[in-house]
Amino acid sequence: MTARALLLLALIPYALWLIFAYDYHFLDGANLLFHEAGHVFFGLFGQTIGMLGGTLGQLVFPVAAGVQFLGSGRAFDASVCGVWLGENLLNVARYMGDAQAMALPLVGGEIHDWNWLLSRVGLLSHCRQLAGLTHLLGSAVIVASLYGAFVALRNEHSAQIASSGPSAQDGRSGSSRSHPPSQEEARGAPRAYCAPDPQERDR
């Protein structure tokens, strides 16, 4: 079993945990760096887009990495980035659902991104419903990405079989016959032949 197949098997229970029992874990520490970088970059375009920029930063990086892998023909790696994207959406859903209660610890300031954003559009009281939809979207992305990884592995395996099949067959035929067939072999079984007796010819 290849390393990619093992990775896919390892991602299945991880994906189930994400979908049904998600909690903050080691990957979110890395995502937090992209979140804060998004605030800095998108903050150049105004306050509202800057507040949304943390979430955009989390989502842009896995999308950009997936597009890069897909463009270079690495479909399996792009699908893994899809799982990363879905995990980010689940993290966003958790943060979004906390917009009204604001119980989660904040990093980099006292302003809760989604409390600020949803308050501006009058949807703060619906933060849990929006979080549920975002969680559902992230779960769908994860499932679709796992399926994409499976299809990519299957296609790679089929391509390997197709490329190695004719050469292997030629190798087997070459090892069983090292010289071209003789005329007798080409015609079939050799016929019995008896040379005539010289005395019979003199008669």
Determine what percent of the chain is predicted with pLDDT higher than 70: 80
pLDDT, mean of residues 93-114: 91
Residue 190 has pLDDT above 70, yes or no: no
Cα separation, 88 vs 177, in Å, equals: 60
Q: Give the 3-state secondary structure percentages of the chain, helix then strand then coil, rounded to 5.
A: 80, 0, 20
Q: What is the pLDDT of residue 176?
A: 47
**C-alpha distances out from residue 177 to 86, 170, 181, Å:** 56, 11, 9
Tell me: the pLDDT tens digits for 114-161?
Answer: 999 999 999 999 999 999 999 999 999 999 999 999 999 999 989 888
Domain range summary for the chain, segments of one domain joined by +: 26-161
pLDDT band at 193 (very low <50, low <70, confident <90, very high): very low
Residue 199 has pLDDT above 80, yes or no: no
